[in-house]
Amino acid sequence: MILEAAAEAFRDRQKFVLSLAGGSTPKKLYELLAKPYYQERLDFEKTFVIWGDERSVPPTHAESNYKMAHEAWLSKVAINADNIIRVPGEMPPVEAAKTYEKTLKVLFGMTIGLPKIDFSLLGLGDDGHTASLFPGTEASKETERWAVATHVTKAPHDRVTLTFPVLNSARRTLFLVTGGDKAGIVKEVLREDLPMNRYPAQRVQPKDGDVVWLLDGAAAEKLPNAIRAKASPL
Ligand code: 6PG
């Protein structure tokens, strides 16, 4: 899916912007992208990597989403350092969000409107959060800014996150969710009989983009047959 999106972006726009998820789930994906088959099919001159969110920690910190992706993938491929646009987690979160937003506006060459991320990879938290848009937070209500700081009582660190307007302007969005501990929240978020804003992840509804959920068997375990029937096994 990433290679398809990249090929289209290289062809049509000579630039592929990939937004990475944090947490632990995507580590295997990033390790896969480091393998020759994928390296050979990504033009790293035209590939730009950003993050959907980051913890307010330095890039060397064990909790850094940048650190995880850099160790699993980016340190193993010939991508220009300038093409990696990390959230400056070492800064105080509000300043980091402003700096990140400024850098993104330069990357997308725009000052008004919303950026169209070519491929937005997202995870799902067990409370239905995605990126660092947690239920009931001011960040989840932001309608103008591209990136904001957020204090999450249950999380050990403050965060910087892309906002819903940006996530909902993406061309392609992939939720990558694995493990039986996510089966309950996956079922809830994908229920069609619930209002579509109980959980932040439900509010990822790009106007002109598609959303794909890629689940392993364990994470899909509690899905009703009606939804399973619509699923296409890989
Ligand atoms: C983060 C992530 C977050 C993550 C979910 C799932 O910075 O934590 O961006 O949204 O995707 O919390 O995390 P796991 O993959 O570790 O379950």
The atom of ligand 1 lying closest to the CA of 129 is: 10
Task: Report residues whose beta carbon is within 6 angstroms of any ligand 1 atom.
Answer: 21-25, 52-53, 65, 123-125, 129-132
124 CA distance to ligand 1 middle (Å): 6
Q: How far, in Å, CA of 38 to CA of 76, rounded?
A: 12
CB 56 within 8 A of CB 92: yes
Ligand 1: residue whose CA is nearest its atom 8: 23
**Distance, C-alpha 26 to centroid of its chain:** 10
Q: What is the pTM of this model?
A: 0.97
Instruction: Please classify residue 158 by burial: count the beta carbons closer than 10 Å to its beta carbon, then call 0-12 exposed, 13-18 middle and 19+ buried.
Output: buried
The model's pLDDT over 49-97, given as tens digits with 9 standing for 90+, comes to 999 999 999 999 999 999 999 999 999 999 999 999 999 999 999 999 9
Q: How far, in Å, CA of 174 to CA of 30, rounded?
A: 14
State the CB neighbour count (10 A cutoff) for residue 98.
Answer: 17
The model's pLDDT over 128-171, given as tens digits with 9 standing for 90+, comes to 999 999 999 999 999 999 999 999 998 899 999 999 999 999 99
25 CA distance to ligand 1 middle (Å): 7
* 176 sits in which H/E element: strand 172-177
7 CA distance to ligand 1 middle (Å): 27
